[in-house]
A and B are shown apart, each in its own frame.
Chain A
Amino acid sequence: GNSVTQMEGPVTLSEEAFLTINCTYTATGYPSLFWYVQYPGEGLQLLLKATKADDKGSNKGFEATYRKETTSFHLEKGSVQVSDSAVYFCALYSGGGSNYKLTFGKGTLLTVNP
Chain B
Amino acid sequence: GAGVSQSPSNKVTEKGKDVELRCDPISGHTALYWYRQSLGQGLEFLIYFQGNSAPDKSGLPSDRFSAERTGGSVSTLTIQRTQQEDSAVYLCASSLAPGYEQYFGPGTRLTVT
A residues bordering B, Cβ < 8 Å? 36, 42-46, 49, 89, 91, 93, 95, 98-107
Is B106 a contact of A100 with CB atoms below 8 Å? no
Name the residue among B48, B55, B102 with the largest chain A CB count within 10 angstroms: B102
Is B56 a contact of A101 with CB atoms below 8 Å? yes
Taking CB atoms, residues of chain B closer than 8 Å to A105 are: 42
Task: List, sorted by A's number, 15 A–B pairs whose CB atoms are closer than 8 Å.
Answer: A36-B104, A42-B106, A43-B91, A44-B91, A44-B93, A49-B101, A91-B43, A95-B99, A100-B33, A100-B56, A100-B95, A101-B56, A102-B43, A102-B45, A107-B42
Is B42 a contact of A101 with CB atoms below 8 Å? no
B98 in the interface (beta carbon within 8 A): yes
Question: A49 vs B42: C-alpha distance in the bound complex, in angstroms?
Answer: 20
Given A100-B56, A102-B35, A104-B42: 15 more A-B contacts, CB < 8 Å: A42-B106, A43-B107, A44-B91, A46-B103, A89-B43, A95-B99, A98-B48, A100-B31, A100-B95, A101-B33, A101-B56, A102-B43, A102-B45, A105-B42, A107-B42
